[in-house]
Each structure stands twice: as structure tokens, then as C-alpha cells.
Structure 1
Amino acid sequence: MQLVTGASGYIGGLLCNFLKARGYVVKGTGRSSIVPSRDFDYVCLDLENDPLDGVCFGVETIVHLAGRAHILNDKSKDPLSAFRRTNVDATLRLAREAMRNGVRRFIFISSIGVSATETRNSKISELTDSNPSTPYTLSKFEAEEALKELVKNSSMELVIIRPPLVYGGSAPGNFQRLLKIVQLGMPLPFVGANNQRSMIAADNFIDFIALCIRHPAAAGELFLVSDGMDVSTVDIVRTIASGMGRKPRLIYVPVRIIHAAAKLLGRENMFAQLFGSLVIDSGKARKLLDWAPPFSVTEALFKAGADYTALSSKKSRV
């Protein structure tokens, strides 16, 4: 049996359905009591507080996606402590229960932010020194280190994956906001963005996670994964718009003015994502596991635009 935490979320739900369709016995857990369109066994569970007795019984592999992610306008008085409770303490609580039940492999989904949030002259890889710079990424790094120490003298195998932005037609967060803006035909001031971004399509990411479940060489490894071809923000917008059957409204505004406005509005992280570069060397995953993304970045971005349009049209008819 494969256990997927965070199964009520975007990636977790897709992964559970992907594995179930390929013959795996799958159990998903999540905090939400309502999971749309699920085709797998699901347990509503708070990993921080609920009893974990029996959760890992009969489980061969755990894919741990659950966690506290980036929160806009975080109201917590102590964000780092809040991130640590969910991303470190709850993760270790689950891992200890997994070890007690003889789980073979624990796959921890971390974040590329543990490595870096921006690159300038060189790509980042698994050999790049970790450099977490936010409460969220620091908590993910601390979880990685604690897990490595925990499994050191055990039979449970640990796999750590640090993905960049995971995107798709129903992806949440900033990518969904971008999809909506492109669909509305709003002017986008990205012509001056001279950047390169590594991302990974949800379909490619799920394919890679599934490979890590079964591939012997994944044991004990850290992986940075991406679609394999880096794109600029302008490329992203144009390809999404093409998938929507639209022409994007791209305009030129000096980057320094946009940066100043982002600072004023407290949106520097969003500015970095849209105008900064973050380039990953994902060669290790390809060489060690012989992995190749099923979809190119062009195909996946086009599909994201088309899927978003179809979903929007469906919602408008309801």
C-alpha cells in the first residue's frame, strides 16, 4: 500500500488518482473532510494532533506532501514556530510511526527554496549548499536534516525531492492568478523581464514521484527536478495564452519601476518569481533514475492554458 499525505491538496489528489490508475493500492490523508473527485481511500487526519495508530499499518511507501506552505498575509505572531510545528514536528511524528510499522520508503517533498530563491550566473544542483531564507524554507530544511538523522540507523529508506514551482491548469496560488490575468486579457508589464525559470508541470512531477516509489536507486537520495527546459516569464505568458486561444497583452514598463512598486506593496517575493531567474540542473534525476519528463514545458504550459479555460467555462455553466 502507498500512503499519500496532503491528499486533499492539488498535487496529492492528482498523485493518488495517478497511482490508483496504475494498479497501486492507495490511501490518502488530509485535513479536509471534503475531497472533490476522489477515486481512492481517504482518511481525514491532522498529523499534528490526531492519533496515528494504524495509519501506517500495511504501508510500503509514504509520500509526504502535507505541510504548511507559503501563506500570504500570515497572521501568525511567530511564523517560524508555526511552520516548524507542521513541517518539522508533524513530519517526524509520522516518520517515527512509519518506522515502527516497518514502512520501506519515506519520500519527503521539500522545496527548491531550501537550495535558493534566485540564481544569477550558475544553475543550482544537489551539490549546491543549502540556503533557506524564509521561515517556510528553513522549516523544510530542518525537516530534511532531522529525517536524515532519524533514519540513519534504520531500515527505512529516505528520498528527498525539492521541486520548483509546480504548475497546471488547476494549480493554486500565484500560477492560478497568472492564468486568470491572462484569460482576462489584462495588460502584463513583462516585456522587460530578461529572466529564466525552471518549473515542473504537475503531470511531470507526479510521474517522477511515482518513479521514486519503485526505483531502487532513489533510496537515500536528494533530487532537484524540473521540466528540463527553462523559460522566461514572457515565454510562459505567450504559451499559456496560446493554449487559451488568446493573444497576450504584453507591454513594456521599466523593471526598476515595477520593483519599486513591489517593495511599496510588500510583494517582493512575487516580483522575484516574475522577474528573477531560478535555474535548476536536474541532470541527476535523469542519469541516476533514467527519468525523462513525459511532457515538454511548451506542451505542459499550452495544456495548462487550455485546461484552465475548460475549467472556467465549466464553472460558468454551473
Structure 2
Amino acid sequence: MLSGSLENIGVLVTGSTGFIGQVLSQNLIRSGCEVTGTATKKRPGVLAVPLTTDDWGHALEGIDTVIHCAALAHVPESKDESFKAQVRALNVEAPATLARQAKEHGVKRFIFLSSVKAMGESTPPNSPYRNNSECSPEDLYGKSKRDAELALKKELEGSATELVIIRPPLVYGPGVKGNFKALMGLAKKNLPLPFGSVENKRSLVSLDNLVSLIVTCVKHPEPLNGTFLVSDDHDVSSKELFETLTRAYGKDPKLWPFPVSLMKLGATILGKKNIADRLFGNLQLDISHTKKTLNWEPPVAFEDAIQKCVNSENQ
């Protein structure tokens, strides 16, 4: 059984130089953990271990908890069977191999960073995903995460190694890239945008809140097996998100009302339906199970996390 303290706990963090892994590793070290970090390329203080390795032995020596953050992310849809095989090798077979060897080395807890995409892409209004909701992933990345979850459960079932699965939605914070970075760029320019009538609801999670939950799972003193959803516990519309980002830049938002149905139609005609779904659709998570089971609350408020994200641009 792990203690409630992080002092002298040996933790292996895969993908330790990535957007999440780097901040997570720093927090664990400050808390007294003995952290071994791995990445696919050699970095100072980090073991260079390819995800497809068959031998994790040297990285697992003295490890109590494994946190598997590494994965092939931002996976485009593809009919290329060789690319699909690569995604499976990195996102499904690699964590299963690591879990098998972690079990053989007596690792007490295996924490897998999955994704809300393992469940699906959207939720009906006021019907959020829960930790035990049915999983119906739609894209290649989401399917790979769900397949990985199932492979890990099969590998660790009946063993002394506990399995903790964490499913975050979109993660934002200092250094964020992709769609959220693009939204920040729009907010910074403060162009007039037709989002004044958008009242959808989407769950997000700041990097600080996600790291806080992972650290909580590391130090949880009781046996811990299960799936946990995480968010800021503050669902936002695209309108509120743009407004909050714009104000974080010290500007007054310029959003004007326009029928959402017409924007969806226009996006579909232009072949941008996926973007419209994210801007105008719902994707909510109910994290009550996580909060109750782990006695955890998101420590950073949504507005404060957005401000930190914006401020980081000038650092």
C-alpha cells in the first residue's frame, strides 16, 4: 500500500518532456518523489526509451508508481493501414507492454492518462459523461485510447498492480498548442466574431488541475482501481471561453449574436463540420465520482487558469 505522503515514492513518468509530463514531473519532484522520466529522445536527466521497447527493466527499478503520459497525439483520420498499425503500436501495444513489465517488477500502481475521446466526441444537453458511461469512440485516436484501456485491464486484472485510468477533456495551460492556441490568437486580436448566441457547454481542464489530480492519485493511501474523469468543474460555452480569453488580454470582447444553425450549415458546406461541432456542440463531464472517491477538488479556478495561460506568452 502506498503512503499518503510523496516522500521517497519512486515514480516513473513516460513522456516526461511533454506538455503534461514536464509539469507533472516538476511537481512530483518538489513533493519529494524520486522521479525517473523517459522520453523518446535523450534529454538531460531523462532516460531515452522508445515507446515500442520490449525492455523497460532499467526504467522500472525502484519504481512504486508508473504514470504513462506518452502517446501519439493529434492523430489525423487515415485509411492508411501502416499508419493505423503505427498508432496501435504506440498507443495500445506500448502501454500494455509497460504494464506487463511493471507488474513483473512489483509496481504497486499504474496510472494511465487516457482521454475523454475514449468515450466519444459529444454529449446531449445536460447529459454529461460519467465515469461509468458507455464508451463509443469515434476517431482513430479515441479508439486507440479505449483499446489501450481494455488492454491494460486485461493485463493487470487479478494482479497486485492497481490500475488507475484518467480521462481528461481538452487540456490547456502555458505552452498549449493546437486548437486552443488558435483560439487564444483570435482572442488576442479581438476581432468581431458572431458567437454572441452560442450557449453550448464544454468541459475543459487546466494543466494545473490535471496535474493536481494525478498527484492525488499517486499519493492516495488506500487501494485504488478505477476510472476517473477530470475537469475544471466549470463548463463553458464557446462564447464564455472567448470572452474570458479576451478579457485576460485586457480587452473588451466584441461578440455579436448570429443564428448558430446558420453557422453550422455554413461550416458543413465549407467542409468544416468537425470544427463547428467543437465550437457549437456539447461535451460535458460529471466529475462528482472523482471528487468524492479521491476527496479532491480542482485547486485552480477557471478564470485564474486562463489568465495564467495568457500571461505565459510574455514570459
- Which TM-score applies when normalising by structure 1? 0.89
CA distance in 1, matches of 2:43, 2:258: 43
1:104 aligns with 2:113: no
CA distance in 1, matches of 2:210, 2:219: 15
Indicate if the aligned counterparts of 2:92 and 2:148 stay in contact, CA closer than 8 A: yes
Partner of 1:38: none
CA distance in 2, matches of 1:14, 1:75: 35
Compared with structure 1, are the counterparts of its residues 246 and 222 closer, same or farther at alpha carbon in structure 2 (3 Å cutoff)?
A: same
Indicate if the aligned counterparts of 1:10 and 1:172 stay in contact, CA closer than 8 A: no
Unaligned runs of 5+ in 1: 36-40, 312-318
Q: In structure 2, the residue corresponding to 1:54 is in which secondary structure?
A: helix
Which of 24, 35, 53 is 2:33 aligned to?
24
State the 1:97 CA deviation: 1.6
State the 1:139 CA deviation: 1.0
Compared with structure 1, are the counterparts of its residues 105 and 266 closer, same or farther at alpha carbon in structure 2 (3 Å cutoff)?
A: farther
CA distance in 1, matches of 2:18, 2:183: 19
Indicate if the aligned counterparts of 2:202 and 2:236 stay in contact, CA closer than 8 A: yes
Q: Percent identity?
A: 36
- After superposition, where does 1:60-99 map in structure 2 within 5 Å? 60-72=64-76, 76-99=80-103
State the 1:11 CA deviation: 0.5
- One-letter code of the match for 1:118? S
Which of 213, 221, 226 is 2:231 aligned to?
226
CA distance in 2, matches of 1:180, 1:72: 23
State the 1:224 CA deviation: 0.7
Equivalenced residue count is: 305
CA RMSD of aligned residues (A): 2.0
1:144 aligns with 2:149: yes
State the 1:187 CA deviation: 3.4
Partner of 1:12: 21
- One-letter code of the match for 2:135? S
Indicate if the aligned counterparts of 1:240 and 1:304 stay in contact, CA closer than 8 A: no
Indicate if the aligned counterparts of 1:6 and 1:30 stay in contact, CA closer than 8 A: yes
Indicate if the aligned counterparts of 2:171 and 2:204 stay in contact, CA closer than 8 A: yes
- One-letter code of the match for 1:23? G
Compared with structure 1, are the counterparts of its residues 267 and 61 closer, same or farther at alpha carbon in structure 2 (3 Å cutoff)?
A: farther
Compared with structure 1, are the counterparts of its residues 32 and 261 closer, same or farther at alpha carbon in structure 2 (3 Å cutoff)?
A: farther
CA distance in 1, matches of 2:189, 2:76: 23
CA distance in 2, matches of 1:33, 1:261: 46
CA distance in 2, matches of 1:265, 1:56: 50
Indicate if the aligned counterparts of 1:80 and 1:139 stay in contact, CA closer than 8 A: no
State the 1:75 CA deviation: 8.9
State the 1:252 CA deviation: 3.7
Can you list the C-alpha shifts for 1:86-126, whole angstroms capped at 9, x where unaligned? 11111111111211211111000111112221111312101
Which of 271, 274, 296 is 1:269 aligned to?
274
Can you list the C-alpha shifts for 1:197-232, whole angstroms capped at 9, x where unaligned? 111111010000000011134611110111112111
State the 1:276 CA deviation: 0.7
Indicate if the aligned counterparts of 1:218 and 1:289 stay in contact, CA closer than 8 A: no
1:242 aligns with 2:247: yes
Partner of 2:204: 199
Compared with structure 1, are the counterparts of its residues 34 and 57 closer, same or farther at alpha carbon in structure 2 (3 Å cutoff)?
A: closer
Partner of 2:57: 53
Which of 278, 282, 286 is 2:287 aligned to?
282
CA distance in 2, matches of 1:78, 1:149: 25
Q: In structure 1, the residue corresponding to 2:58 is in which secondary structure?
A: coil
